[in-house]
Amino acid sequence: MIPEVLDRLRREIAGVMTNPIRVAGVTCAICTREVDSGYQLCFRCRVDRSRFEVSGRFGLPQNLTSDLVVPLTYAVLGQQAYIDMFKYKDVVSFEAAQRRLTLLTALFVVTHGSCIDRFSRPVTGLAVLPSLTGRQGPHPLETFAQLLPQDWRRIQLTAALNLPADRNQRREANPAFYRCPYNLSGHHVVLFDDAWVTGGHAQGAAVHLRNAGADRVTVLVLARMLKTDFGPTAEFVRKHNLPSPPYEVTVCPVTGGACPQ
């Protein structure tokens, strides 16, 4: 894409979106939220990893959750990016929010579409995280999924029947909440979602895909939500002056810095 055009598109979202921070000992190596001193992972990611650890080849421990989440922006409670994550689904007032998120996705594809391949191994499949709320019809997230690389072969992933009525139970990381009809042996699957709060939905789906044979699951999300009603998150947002640093396309969302070679 012509640099001038790329910069014009970036400026449209620069005042709303901000690049997630990837610094060891500062943010979670998986999901990019703040971490407690001395830890590489946040509390929730540590819990999910311990829940889904199994004995792998040669008896070595193997974790079935995703060990890489790629959020394209932070979304701070009360700020425009956070509001956009709800507005884009609104049939009445979705236009501006959907345009910004479309640009965010498109800029990722143009400037960093191959970074997941280079950081890990080539992506062979794409699954869109299904809603567990019983929503009818196509999810608005499908609009953005259509922009992702065409060589990421689409993999059907649906919600299971007879899900718990309790919303809090549905937020848990539970692979039984999903259905995938394919044998995914040998595949590297990108699991696409709109927002990461605690990661329960995505990690439950990631474990289901791993149980279906996938060698690796990378979670790609539009936004890592930061809820400042939690003290440590509020302090993290204050310390890093979020969301003031404007979004820069040169910052790789996979590494937090330069693109992988």
pLDDT at 174: 96
pLDDT at 56: 72
pLDDT at 11: 84
Q: CA-CA distance, 7 to 222, in Å (whole number)?
A: 20
Beta bridge partners of 223: 73, 195
Give the end-to-end CA distance of the chain in Å, rounded to a whole number.
20
At 159, is the secondary structure helix, strand, or coil?
A: strand
pLDDT at 62: 84
> Between the CA of residue 249 and those of 44, 54, 88, 99, what are the distances in Å?
29, 38, 22, 17
Residues of the chain with pLDDT under 50: none
Q: Can you list the alpha helix ranges (DSSP code H) found in the chain?
A: 3-14, 43-51, 80-87, 95-112, 115-119, 141-145, 167-170, 200-211, 231-239
pLDDT at 168: 85
What is the Cα Rg of the chain in Å?
18
Write down the residue that tokens 């999903």 correspond to. 178
pLDDT at 79: 96
Q: Can you list the alpha helix ranges (DSSP code H) found in 19-124?
A: 43-51, 80-87, 95-112, 115-119
At 116, is the secondary structure helix, strand, or coil?
A: helix
Helices (H) and strands (E) in the chain, counts: 9, 9
8-state DSSP, 62: E
pLDDT at 5: 65
Domain ranges in the chain are 3-239
pLDDT at 9: 76
Tokens found for residue 256: 């937090």
pLDDT at 123: 98
